[in-house]
């Protein structure tokens, strides 16, 4: 498991352990000490990493030590992509589909933590290998967030150190308020971490296009687009649009990584 994470335990300070312990109030987490380690992955020391985009020779020694997302020994870069959106929009279904269709050599373990209500997954974790940047393999870690407002603290935490965001919107008319609320919440939570939705790699996915209650794409775009982000129509449980979405966010993240 440690290999998949490519992040040594020693990169976590007491602050991170405290964060993890804070979340141990969720019974599913409390039930297994192993899960605490996974929660630690949500809060690695990556802030300096945002300035250290120029890889290899461009990295100062000081920044290297703080960049837990670059594993020099394994020559790997770890990129974090978060699937965000209202509850039941199809985030988990996206990850599940990617996981199912990915070669088991390229993927790590998918972890799902059920919350007390059993309705929402706490997060999913899926590392994937997709190409190289200056000789470094890139490993993509895909996360989803719990949709319910009750779990806002964990949604915020998962955004820490994020490299790219996929917003999964539910196309149904009855879910528009929830979509907009989640989008505003994403905007606020990103800002709290010092990110700007307008600047970070970002893709909008319009999911559940198969449903008769789905609104026309143009209406959804008008309501939900926040910049000139790429928009993909999807039927996640059939896999339609799932890899297209992932490839686009990965493409944007790689462009960012190659800059500098």
Binding residues vs ligand GDP (CB under 6 A): 85, 87-93, 144, 147, 168, 207-208, 210-211, 235-237
Tell me: does residue 93 bind Mg ion (CB under 5 A): no
In the complex, minimum distance from the CB of residue 58 to ligand GDP, in angstroms, rounded to a whole number: 38
Whole-number Å distance between alpha carbons of 117 and 210? 28
In the complex, minimum distance from the CB of residue 83 to ligand GDP, in angstroms, rounded to a whole number: 8
Tell me: does residue 92 bind Mg ion (CB under 5 A): yes
In the complex, minimum distance from the CB of residue 8 to ligand GDP, in angstroms, rounded to a whole number: 30
From Mg ion, ligand GDP, none, interface partner of 160 (C-beta below 5 to 8 A by class): none
Closest to ligand GDP by CB, 71 vs 144, is 144
- Site size for Mg ion (CB under 5 A): 4
Three-class HEC string of 13-64: CHHHHHHHHHHHHCHHHHCCHHHHHHHHCCCCCCCHHHCCCCCHHHCCHHHH
Radius of gyration of the chain (CA): 18
From ligand GDP, Mg ion, none, interface partner of 224 (C-beta below 5 to 8 A by class): none
The tokens for 215 are 């609104």
In the complex, minimum distance from the CB of residue 118 to Mg ion, in angstroms, rounded to a whole number: 12
Contact 99, 126 (CB under 8 A): yes
- Nearest alpha-carbon partner for 55 in 128, 165, 135: 135
Whole-number Å distance between alpha carbons of 54 and 35? 33
Closest to Mg ion by CB, 7 vs 95, is 95
CA dihedral 106→209→216→198, nearest 10 degrees, is -20
Closest to Mg ion by CB, 59 vs 145, is 145
**Listed ranges 60-68, 120-128, 151-159, 163-171: which one lies at the site for Mg ion (CB under 5 A):** 120-128
**Listed ranges 45-53, 144-152, 161-169, 227-235: which one lies at the site for Mg ion (CB under 5 A):** 144-152
Closest to ligand GDP by CB, 54 vs 239, is 239
Site for Mg ion in 72-91 (CB under 5 A): 91
CB count within 10 Å of CB 200 equals 16
- Nearest alpha-carbon partner for 9 in 26, 27, 34, 29: 34
Contacts of 36 (CB under 8 A, 6+ apart): 17, 20, 21, 24, 29
Tell me: does residue 121 bind Mg ion (CB under 5 A): yes
Closest to Mg ion by CB, 64 vs 153, is 153
Binding-site ranges for Mg ion (CB under 5 A): 91-92, 121, 144
């Amino acid at each position: 498991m440690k290999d998949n994470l490519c992040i040594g335990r020693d990169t976590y300070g007491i602050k991170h352990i405290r964060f993890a312990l804070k979340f141990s109030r969720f019974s599913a987490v409390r039930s297994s000490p192993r899960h605490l380690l996974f929660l630690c992955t949500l809060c690695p020391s990556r802030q300096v990493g945002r300035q250290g985009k120029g890889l290899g020779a461009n990295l100062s020694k000081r920044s290297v030590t703080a960049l837990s997302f670059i594993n020099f020994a394994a020559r790997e870069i770890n990129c974090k992509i978060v699937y965000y959106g209202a509850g039941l929009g199809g985030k988990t279904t996206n990850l599940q589909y990617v996981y199912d269709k990915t070669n088991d050599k390229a993927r790590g373990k998918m972890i799902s933590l059920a919350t007390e209500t059993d309705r929402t997954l706490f997060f999913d974790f899926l590392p994937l290998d997709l190409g190289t940047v200056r000789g470094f393999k890139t490993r993509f870690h895909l996360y989803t967030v719990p949709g319910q407002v009750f779990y806002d603290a964990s949604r915020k935490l998962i955004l820490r150190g994020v490299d790219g965001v996929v917003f999964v919107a539910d196309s149904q008319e009855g879910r528009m308020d929830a979509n907009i609320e989640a989008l505003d919440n994403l905007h606020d939570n990103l800002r709290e971490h010092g990110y700007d939705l307008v600047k970070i790699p970002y893709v909008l996915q319009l999911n559940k296009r198969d449903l008769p209650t789905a609104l026309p794409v143009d209406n959804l775009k008008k309501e939900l687009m926040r910049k000139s982000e790429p928009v993909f129509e999807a039927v996640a449980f059939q896999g339609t649009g799932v890899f297209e979405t992932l490839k686009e966010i990965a493409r944007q993240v790689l462009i960012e990584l190659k800059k500098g």
